[in-house]
């Protein structure tokens, strides 16, 4: 008999079925035994009226009859007739995967990641992340963007500074990509519109709820823009479409976390950074510390203001200081101390950074000199601007931060399959 998935059974609600999956829980009531079985589409309760020799965690196949039962999850249960253990466990589970909440501290959750990922509520995080990446790729392709995959082993750091990982590359030193920035700009001169979904690496020694050293970045770059507002407008539309897809296909996973379906405004509001600082000082009596463009508390209060003032969980914060942005960022013509770019905040946390790039060769070289950057190792990138790159811009957006904010997770590490931080490189 052909295997039936649990989701298919929930739709048909009757008939002979053969399911294959894992035993999540066993309740033995003497004459009746209830097994909770999980496959990749969901879980279902199976009832046996005779003793069965199985353990929690066993991989099994069950033949039986599906029937409607309003008391059961999905309104369906299976009357088991035959069970076979395909693979049996040899150790007892260290925690109960059948509970609605795992109630593990973060360290245990991550140390036992290969097991904690089996919990339905933990799986919901990554089901939503899958929808996020699906929706992003779909929305980009519909706008004529070509998907690219750029190198992650580089001869020079993309963003400069010291927050890069150095690796041995045969007889040379190389760095892991902090972003696909150089390559996606080069590809504007080839395809005009490009996007990428891929890992990036940041050697930042942070111990925070919002930082990890490897994450999935959703990038884009496109040509023939008038200004950075064109970039923000496209990003606004992309995020709105992606969230609509998540709401349509991921409602059950959002329900697992008791969160409302997220809404994206038709027009996300804008605030200049200087304005945001003044507002949060006046309204919330908070001053952003010297030496930072804006700190986490400043972002949270800016997000709070956007919600109170505009009813929006999103806000574009624009015109960051020139000294705080990479050398390829376009300075503002009206004030060269500011840049033509933005951060996008979602519930008070930065999820994307973008803006207009410098497209003129000499301006790019001059900007590098002002920042005291040497061109060594970046010649392949710089030289292409001698051959004509249209006015362009783009963004980089962190997938995990979006999911963290969407589900109100306490730490971004919960939204990373196997997180990497200062102390964690296993599992």
Cβ atoms of 106 and 413 within 8 Å: the answer is yes
Tell me the mean pLDDT in the region 325-329.
Answer: 96
Average pLDDT value for the chain: 95
C-alpha dihedral (122, 126, 131, 136), degrees to nearest 10: 140
Residue 163 lies in a domain: yes
Q: pLDDT value at position 63?
A: 97
pLDDT at 159 over 90: no
Residue 235: band (very low, low, confident or very high) from pLDDT cuts 50, 70, 90: very high
Residue 135 lies in a domain: yes
pLDDT at 287 over 90: yes
Residues with Cβ within 8 Å of 242's Cβ and at least 6 positions away in sequence, in order, are 132, 135, 136, 139
The helix/strand/coil state of 339 is: strand
Residue 115 lies in a domain: no
pLDDT at 367 over 90: yes
- Residue 80, strand partner residues: 64
Same structural domain, 58 and 131: no
Same structural domain, 313 and 399: yes
Same structural domain, 150 and 50: no
Domain boundary among 70, 87, 104: 87
- Residue 271, strand partner residues: 317
Domain boundary among 41, 65, 87: 87
Same structural domain, 124 and 213: yes
Same structural domain, 380 and 289: yes
Q: pLDDT value at position 72?
A: 77
- Residue 78, strand partner residues: 46, 66
Same structural domain, 133 and 69: no
Residue 109 lies in a domain: no
Q: pLDDT value at position 161?
A: 67
CA distance 167 to 152: 11
Residue 421 lies in a domain: no
Predicted confidence (pLDDT) per residue in 257-279, tens digit: 999 999 999 999 999 999 999 99
pLDDT at 1 over 90: no
Residue 12 lies in a domain: yes
Same structural domain, 155 and 74: no
pTM: 0.95
User: What percentage of the chain's residues is helix, strand, coil (to nearest 5)?
Assistant: 35, 25, 40
Q: Taking Cα atoms as reference points, which of 47, 39, 48, 33 lies closest to residue 9?
A: 39
Q: Taking Cα atoms as reference points, which of 270, 271, 268 lies closest to residue 243?
A: 268
CB atoms within 10 A of CB 66: 23
CA distance 383 to 378: 9
Q: pLDDT value at position 44?
A: 94
Predicted confidence (pLDDT) per residue in 39-91, tens digit: 999 999 999 999 999 999 999 999 999 998 888 777 899 999 999 999 999 99
The helix/strand/coil state of 305 is: helix
Same structural domain, 252 and 304: yes
Domain boundary among 34, 65, 87: 87
Structural domains of the chain, count: 2
Distance (Å) of CA 52 to CA 47, 75, 79, 231, 263: 10, 24, 13, 60, 48
Same structural domain, 233 and 339: yes
Of the CA atoms within 13 Å of residue 136, those in its CB half-sphere come to: 24
CA distance 197 to 328: 21
Same structural domain, 142 and 284: yes
Structural domain that includes position 154: 120-415
Cβ atoms of 215 and 416 within 8 Å: the answer is yes
Cβ atoms of 356 and 346 within 8 Å: the answer is no
CA distance 34 to 52: 10
Q: Which of 225-229, 289-293, 309-313, 391-395 has the lowest mean pLDDT?
A: 289-293
Residue 34: give its domain's CATH number.
2.40.50.140
Same structural domain, 42 and 183: no
Distance (Å) of CA 5 to CA 18, 23, 78: 8, 15, 12
Residue 190 lies in a domain: yes
Cβ atoms of 21 and 42 within 8 Å: the answer is no
Predicted confidence (pLDDT) per residue in 99-156, tens digit: 989 999 999 999 999 999 999 999 999 999 999 999 999 999 999 999 999 999 998 7
Cα end-to-end distance, the chain, whole Å? 38
CA distance 142 to 193: 11
Task: Beginning with the edge strand found earlier in the chain, give each strand of the sheet holding 314-318 in spatial order.
Answer: 146-147, 193-201, 214-223, 392-398, 349-356, 341-346, 314-318, 270-272
Of the CA atoms within 13 Å of residue 307, those in its CB half-sphere come to: 13
Predicted confidence (pLDDT) per residue in 372-384, tens digit: 999 888 999 999 9
CA distance 414 to 411: 6
Residue 271 lies in a domain: yes
Residue 137: give its domain's CATH number.
3.30.930.10
pLDDT at 160 over 80: no
CA distance 134 to 246: 9
Predicted confidence (pLDDT) per residue in 6-52, tens digit: 999 988 777 899 999 999 999 999 889 999 999 999 999 999 999 99
Q: pLDDT value at position 368?
A: 95
Q: Where are the alpha helices (DSSP H) in 101-180?
A: 106-111, 113-116, 120-142
Same structural domain, 49 and 180: no
């Amino acid at each position: 008999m052909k295997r039936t998935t649990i989701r298919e059974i929930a739709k048909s609600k009757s008939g002979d079925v053969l399911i294959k999956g894992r035993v999540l829980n066993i309740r033995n009531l003497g004459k009746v035994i209830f097994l909770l079985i999980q496959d990749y589409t969901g879980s279902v309760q199976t009832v046996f009226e005779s003793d069965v020799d199985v353990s929690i965690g066993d991989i099994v196949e069950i033949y039986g009859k599906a029937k409607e039962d309003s008391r059961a999850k999905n309104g369906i249960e299976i009357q088991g007739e035959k069970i076979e253990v395909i693979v049996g466990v040899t150790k007892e589970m260290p925690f109960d995967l059948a509970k609605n909440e795992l109630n593990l501290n973060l360290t245990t959750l991550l140390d036992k990641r290969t097991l904690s990922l089996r919990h339905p509520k933990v799986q919901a995080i990554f089901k939503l992340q899958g929808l996020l990446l699906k929706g992003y790729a779909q929305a980009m392709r519909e706008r004529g963007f070509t998907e690219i995959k750029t190198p992650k082993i580089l001869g020079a750091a993309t963003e400069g500074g010291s927050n890069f990982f150095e690796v041995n590359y045969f007889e040379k030193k190389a760095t892991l990509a902090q972003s696909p920035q150089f390559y996606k700009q080069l590809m504007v001169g080839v395809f005009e519109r490009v996007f990428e979904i891929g890992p990036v690496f940041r050697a930042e020694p942070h111990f925070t709820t919002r930082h990890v050293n490897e994450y999935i970045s959703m990038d884009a770059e496109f040509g023939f823009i008038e200004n950075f507002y064109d970039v923000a407008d496209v990003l606004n539309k992309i995020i709105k479409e992606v969230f609509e897809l998540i709401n349509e296909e991921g409602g059950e996973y959002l329900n697992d976390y008791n969160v409302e379906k997220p809404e994206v405004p038709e027009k996300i509001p804008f605030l200049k950074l200087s304005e945001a600082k003044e507002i949060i000082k006046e309204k919330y009596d908070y001053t952003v510390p010297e030496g930072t463009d804006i700190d986490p508390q400043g972002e949270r209060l800016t997000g709070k203001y956007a919600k109170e003032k505009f009813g929006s969980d999103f806000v574009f914060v624009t015109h960051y200081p020139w000294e705080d942005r990479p050398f390829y960022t376009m300075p503002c013509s009206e004030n060269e101390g500011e840049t033509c770019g933005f951060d996008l905040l979602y519930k008070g946390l930065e999820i994307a950074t973008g803006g207009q790039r410098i497209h003129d060769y000499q301006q790019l070289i001059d900007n590098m000199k002002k920042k005291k950057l040497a061109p060594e190792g970046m010649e392949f990138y710089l030289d292409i601007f001698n051959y004509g790159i249209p006015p362009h811009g783009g963004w980089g957006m962190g997938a995990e931060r979006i999911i963290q904010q969407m589900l109100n997770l306490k730490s971004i590490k919960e939204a990373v399959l196997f997180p990497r931080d200062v102390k964690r490189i296993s599992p």
